[in-house]
Amino acid sequence: MSQLFNDTPTACLALADGTVFYGQGFGATGTTVAELCFNTAMTGYQEIMTDPSYAGQIVTFTFPHIGNVGVNPDDDEASDPVAAGMVVKWMPTQSSNWRAVQELGDWLAARGRIAIGGIDTRRLARAIRQTGAPHVALEHNPDGVFDIEALVQKARDFPGLEGLDLARDVTCAQTYRWDEMRWAWPEGYSRQTNPTHKVVAIDYGAKRNILRCLASAGCDVTVLPATATAEDILAHDPDGVFLSNGPGDPAATGEYAVPMIREILDKTDLPVFGICLGHQMLALALGAKTVKMSHGHHGANHPVKDTETGKVEITSMNHGFAVDGQTLPEGVVETHVSLFDGSNCGIRMKDRPVFSVQQHPEASPGPQDSYYLFERFVASMDTAKRVDA
């Protein structure tokens, strides 16, 4: 059934349960199908849209002021948006920020990403919390013509993220070096010229600011594709191994990532640090299990408790799967938990410098409470070097 709107609706969001939201389209035209999540961050919409961890997802922004600072190349976490689409309450106004070089809508259109505005995002977020992240179809048609039945069916036909290895889709095509450090006023990004440790970073969908944090902490970073083998990694003679963030089902990515991590742990005493999907990969390699969450954790205001110090950190998060803390094997300690739902947010091996966290300590966007974890990783490499000396 086709439906024609002569007034304002130029976009339509159809949920698999038959619920339909109408609004104003911006960005690219066309149709996209994905899982729908919501993000509670008040800043950083550009970083969120370019975060490779959002592959296969459309993001609902609960904060209404989206697009007000435009976009600029310095804030990209990847070369292009990775999230499938964007849902916002208010249509973006003309940007007002000295760093803006392009309007959000033009940026999305040039990169083939669809967005819809004028949506009751509070209602949508409540629905996601109550029933879980739905499968949806989003269409932007300036003519206002929508085949609702076909859109609902497309949403129902979407296979979902369970069982999907999306790391292969977003990882780098080949090995490369990274030496750019964190942005700082007034020079912007500068280069690491005096690194103290060689780190191999496995790219499951690595954000640029994670790599910048490693460089700023004194690391000479070599980035390898997600499918790199232990032999590939050890050929670089690293002082430590980093496992990056990324999208998709960790169990699917783990089919090739877990054997590699286990081989690294079996053959070496190298420090290992994982974030997000890298945290889940490490947990699987150590014998734990992962589970699909109802609606996941997406935002820059998530409280996480360090179970060993009692300290509470406000963190940036983006994940729809979690490590099942009840399945951690002997010799592995749970170090962090979410204060929202008690889910696992960190682990470490008792007798080795191997640890990981679910949150994003690079804080792009978000608070910097967890940045110390990069320093902990460097300190573990310092200690390992002294032991070997």
Q: Looking at the annotation, which residues are catalytic? A: 276, 360, 362
> What residues contact 153, with CB distance under 8 A and at least 6 apart?
none
* Residue labelled with tokens 């006023």: 185
Coil, helix or strand for 347?
A: strand
Q: Give the separation between CA 355 and CA 333, rounded to whole angstroms.
A: 9
Pairing of strands 312-323, 290-306: antiparallel
Cβ neighbourhood burial of 343 (10 Å; 0-12, 13-18, 19+): buried
297-308 b/e (C-beta count within 10 Å ≥ 16 → b): bbbbebebbbee
- CA dist 213 and 219 (Å) reads 9
Picking from 388, 306, 304, the residue whose alpha carbon sits closest to that of residue 341 is 304
* Residues forming beta bridges with residue 97, ordered by sequence position: none
For 367, the token pair is 């608070």
